[in-house]
Amino acid sequence: MSKRIEKVNQLIKETLSKIIKERLSLKDTVFLTILKVDTSRDLRYSKVFLSVYPTSDNDYVSKTLTKEKGRIHKELHKKLFMKPLPKIRFVVDETQEKISEIDKIFDKIKREND
């Protein structure tokens, strides 16, 4: 990955974090973290990987972000002076949830073997 793309990823991550924190109304019990941003080499698309706690609110957060994507993109455009401004796609990262499930399976196997 080029230094330019790395800088763009970091800039988008920081700016989106601020926009989501200041402008997006989520339930008080939801904690949302931007894990990373992957921008295409042509700067047309960015995947924004998110972590949601509690994981039971993944669908709620996905729907809210989808509904507000236009507004978020406008805010991003106001703060970043990029041409083209990448189209944002939010992806809820469920890695932690899967790790938890695997840990539970291993614990169960261990108990059965003891």
Report domain extents, the chain.
3-113
Would you state the pLDDT for residue 11? 95
For residue 110, is pLDDT > 90? Answer: no
Q: To 5 degrees, how large is the angle CA 46–CA 47–CA 51?
A: 140
Q: Alpha-carbon distance 20 to 1, whole Å?
A: 26
Percent of the chain with pLDDT over 70: 97
* Domain spanning 3-113: CATH superfamily: K homology (KH) domain (3.30.300.20)
Would you state the pLDDT for residue 1? 74
Would you state the pLDDT for residue 93? 82
pTM of the model: 0.79
For residue 89, is pLDDT > 80? Answer: yes
Q: What is the mean pLDDT of residues 64-85?
A: 91
For residue 98, is pLDDT > 80? Answer: no
SS3 letters across 14-65: HHHHHHHHHHCCCCCCCEEEEEEEEECCCCCEEEEEEEEECHHHHHHHHHHH
Would you state the pLDDT for residue 24? 87
The torsion region of residue 61 among left (phi > 0), alpha (psi -120 to 50) and beta comes to alpha
What letters, b where the CB count within 10 A reaches 16 and e where it falls short, cover 52-80? beeeebbeebeebbeebeeebbebbeeee
Reading the block at residue 30, the tokens are: 């939801």
Q: Alpha-carbon distance 39 to 12, whole Å?
A: 9
- Residue with the larger pLDDT of the pair 93 and 16: 16
